């Protein structure tokens, strides 16, 4: 499973990362998070968790993403 912020340092942001993961490993669950409003549309089958989140909420989201 990939869990990443939408805003990443460097050339690739979290949405670019999610797109790349979807192309290379289509069955790998991806959850993106951010404390900022989403401007871009997420790739298909990529979940989003707004910040702030609680650790238990992350565990529940991870379990659901892996089903």
The arithmetic mean of pLDDT across residues 37-57, rounded, is: 89
Model confidence at 18: pLDDT above 90:
yes
Range of the domain at 58: 2-65
Write down the pLDDT at residue 36: 87
The arithmetic mean of pLDDT across residues 6-22, rounded, is: 94
Task: Tell me the two tokens of residue 50.
Answer: 């707004």
Which CATH number characterizes residue 8's domain? 3.40.50.2300
| Tally of domains within the chain | 1
Beta bridge partners of 61: none
d(CA 66, CA 47): 11
């Amino acid at each position: 499973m990939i869990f990443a912020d939408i805003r990443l340092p460097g050339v690739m942001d979290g949405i670019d990362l999610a797109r790349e993961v979807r192309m290379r490993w289509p069955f790998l669950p991806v959850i993106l998070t951010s404390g900022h409003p989403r401007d871009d549309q997420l790739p298909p089958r990529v979940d989003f968790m707004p910040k702030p989140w609680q650790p238990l909420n992350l565990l529940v989201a991870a379990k659901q993403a892996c089903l």
